[in-house]
Amino acid sequence: MIEGLKDKVAIVTGGGHGIGKTYCLGFGRAGASVVTADIDGPAAEAVASQVAKETGAKSLGLSVDVADEESTKAMAAATIERFGRIDILVNNAAIFATIPMNRGGIETIDPKEWDRLMAVNLKGLFFCSRAVLPAMRARKSGKIINISSSTVFSGSAGRIHYVTSKAGVIGFTRTLAREAGEDNIQVNAIAPGSTLSEENPTEDILRFRRLQVQGRALRRVQMPQDLVGAVLFLASGLSDFMTGQTLSVDGGAAMR
């Protein structure tokens, strides 16, 4: 277990399902208090109950739309009201598996879908980070971890809006790192490889995930648990002199 997270307060957006849920449980096991924020409110509450039951951590589930600034302000206010501070924000919510996106070529993407995807995957980081920064700046301490994707390094045909949004996450991370550094706030990103995050994967999905193994140095399917160590590291004091960086956690698919 990574030490130094005991009694820290962590918000995980998109924590109601998939990889975000695994981050919530990881923070709980590390002794942090966990806020699970998700547009799927019942799922957020279910994960919060699971975190409390399985790890004994203090937890809170919130219904939050990261693309709505008022909703993200309410998320920060509810966290401070319940726990008194915000130490860590994991910007994980995205249109990915739970909210289906068009996986066709550029000609088939509806501009409205492009806009909604950018609103969640990019503007969501902007709103959530702005919502928590005042509390972090006041304490001269904080960790913001943004979830990008390894698709940024290789391209991934059939979801140009998604990959473009995840490339934006890296520029956002570098710039916010420069802006927030003066208040001792570290901002880093993680680029996960193709991860079996689906709760009820179909045969097609399983086949797709297995296919990704071929391009990796480590020859197995990536699971949500494979990402938890990197998130806890970037949330902990072990990474206090690291900021503006993107860690690839993909079994050695992209080597940069």
Ligand X SMILES: NC(=O)c1ccc[n+]([C@@H]2O[C@H](COP(=O)([O-])OP(=O)(O)OC[C@H]3O[C@@H](n4cnc5c(N)ncnc54)[C@H](O)[C@@H]3O)[C@@H](O)[C@H]2O)c1
Count of residues near ligand X by CB under 6 A: 29
8 versus 166: smaller Cβ distance to ligand X: 166
Least separation, in Å, of the C-beta of 228 and ligand X? 12
23 belongs to the catalytic site: no
145 is a contact residue toward ligand X (CB under 6 A): no
194 is a contact residue toward ligand X (CB under 6 A): yes
Least separation, in Å, of the C-beta of 26 and ligand X? 13
33 versus 121: smaller Cβ distance to ligand X: 121
134 secondary structure, DSSP code = H
Q: 248 φ, ψ to 5°?
A: -85, 125
30 versus 190: smaller Cβ distance to ligand X: 190
- 25-54: contacts with ligand X (CB under 6 A): 38-40
Alpha helix (H) residue ranges in 98-239: 111-118, 124-139, 151-154, 160-180, 203-211, 228-235
13 is a contact residue toward ligand X (CB under 6 A): yes
Strand partners for 185: 142
161 is a contact residue toward ligand X (CB under 6 A): no
| Exposed / middle / buried, residue 105 (Cβ in 10 Å: 0-12, 13-18, 19+) | exposed
Residues 62-91 as x/- pattern, contact with ligand X by CB under 6 A: --xxxx------------------------
Chosen residue from 8, 17, 143, 161 binding ligand X by CB under 6 A: 17
How many other C-beta atoms can be found within 10 angstroms of the C-beta atom of residue 206?
A: 13
Distance CA 147, CA 203 (A): 26
How many other C-beta atoms can be found within 10 angstroms of the C-beta atom of residue 107?
A: 5
79 versus 195: smaller Cβ distance to ligand X: 195
Least separation, in Å, of the C-beta of 184 and ligand X? 26
Name the pairing type of β-strands 59-63 and 33-38. parallel
Distance CA 63, CA 78 (A): 11
168 is a contact residue toward ligand X (CB under 6 A): no
CA 213 to each of CA 147, 151, 223: distance values in angstroms, whole numbers, following the listed order: 21, 14, 12
Alpha helix (H) residue ranges in 56-88: 69-83
83 versus 153: smaller Cβ distance to ligand X: 153
- Contact region for ligand X (CB under 6 A) — 53-61, 92-100, 132-140, 235-243? 92-100
List the catalytic residues.
162
Q: Which residues bind ligand X (CB under 6 A)?
A: 13-14, 16-20, 38-40, 64-67, 92-99, 120, 147, 149, 192, 194-195, 197
